[in-house]
A = this chain, B = another copy of it.
Amino acid sequence: MISIEEARTRLLAALHPTPAETLGLAEAWNRVTAAPVAARLTQPPADVSAMDGYALRAADGTAGAVLRVIGAAPAGHPFKGAIGPGEAVRLFTGSFVPAGADAVLLQEDATAAEGTVTVNEAVLAGRHIRRAGQDFQAGAILIPAGQRLSARDIGLAAAANHPWLAVHRRPEIAILATGDEIALPGEPIPPGGIISSNAHALAALVRAAGGNPRVLPIARDSEEAIADAAEGARGADMLVTTGGASVGDHDLVVPGLARRGLEVDFWKIAMRPGKPLMFGRMGGEDGIAVLGLPGNPVSALVCAILFLMPAIARMAGLPAAAPPSEAAMLGEALPANDHRADHLRGHLETGADGVAVVRAFPRQDSALLHRLAAANALILRAPHAPAAEAGAAVEVIRLDRLGI
């Protein structure tokens, strides 16, 4: 058996970011940059006023002075001349400061009359002027490659004059559920069968992770059916299988996909819930990555959180990493763990003091999908973790924050 960390490291090392595509700005939200975004202009492009008021020479801005107003410069309509001694120009927030001026008299510190303005409050040179390039200079790298784009990043890229952004293509994930006993929701259920929930739960998880899901038709329990179904994964970046329970997980998937050239790595992972994880590649070096998940719905989702989400993030252009986890405080004691890493479903609540307190559900049956859906946290228990008292620190994955 190998550890989760080792399996994840080996999995992620075998994956690469998808190639870049060009998207319009707003469509690029939540994608990962494939190239650095450099400023294409300087912002502000010139010295601009930070307030509504008047441009003048600081030397003229003494209390009581009366200046001639020789023009106005609304934003977008710069004043074309220069300001001389005893002169002022009406300005607004964002207006370019005219040539010759080095100070701004605030509107509320001025009294305007026909063609003149009286200074009520002495000005300071440079005050209320935003200098050219104060936000950014042309050529400066504003957003590095490999960063997921926030709404603020989109605004910044827009301000830097980028109508398009080069981002990694969404990883395309084909999903194949197998089993004689399963039916899709709303379809006739075979005798002794159950509804297949895995394919659509995984499709939603793929979306949450920033991938495009492609749900393939259910493959019945034969090598031939599985080989045929795998044809539907052509062009995808990864094929995810979830085994039928009528035979051992992967027992038919591996030979079925082998008919299409699967070269397989197969790992027994010291974890719970979960079972052996299958990883491989169909079609040689440049072929499609294959990840085999368990058929049990709870095990499939937990394994998807631990392995598939990081895999999609990696293919989407982010660094190889474990799923985001954070510290929380145990609300109730936990017994010592055995040799397998455990992922206890539980409920986390943050108190008014900001401390996140988590309690494991008393029942951890991996058949209970309803309980899994009610959880908002997975408590991570390392192999051989000793018993932990209430109040002890544990690491948790916040399911509610990941959309999963």
Contacts and interface: CB of A to CB of B under 8 A. Distances in A.
Interface residues of A, number: 104
Nearest to A93: B245
A362 to B, nearest CB: 14
B185 A151 contact: no
A43 interface: yes
B328 A354 contact: yes
A195 B155 CA distance: 10
A177 B37 CA distance: 24
A319 interface: no
Given A26-B215, A74-B180, A204-B29, A130 B367 contact: yes
A142 B195 CA distance: 16
Interface in A336-361: 350, 352-354, 356
B354 A194 contact: no
A356 B297 CA distance: 34
A241 interface: no
Contacts of A30: 207-208, 403
Nearest to A207: B29
Given A156-B197, A195-B158, A185 B247 contact: no
B158 A185 contact: yes
A201 B151 contact: yes
B403 A151 contact: yes
A369 interface: yes
A77 B192 contact: yes
A373 B153 contact: yes
B326 A194 contact: no
Given A25-B204, A142-B370, A155-B369, 12 more contacts: A26-B207, A44-B194, A92-B245, A130-B367, A134-B367, A150-B208, A150-B403, A151-B202, A153-B373, A155-B301, A158-B196, A353-B393
5 contacts: A130-B367, A135-B370, A135-B371, A142-B373, A327-B353
- Going nearest first, the 7 A-B pairs with the smallest beta carbon separation are A76-B181, A327-B354, A155-B201, A163-B186, A78-B192, A151-B204, A29-B204
Interface of A: 25-26, 29-30, 41, 43-46, 50, 73-78, 92-96, 130, 134-136, 142-143, 149-164, 179-182, 184-187, 189-205, 207-208, 213, 215, 221, 244-247, 296-297, 301, 326-329, 350, 352-354, 356, 365, 367-373, 375, 393, 399-401, 403-404
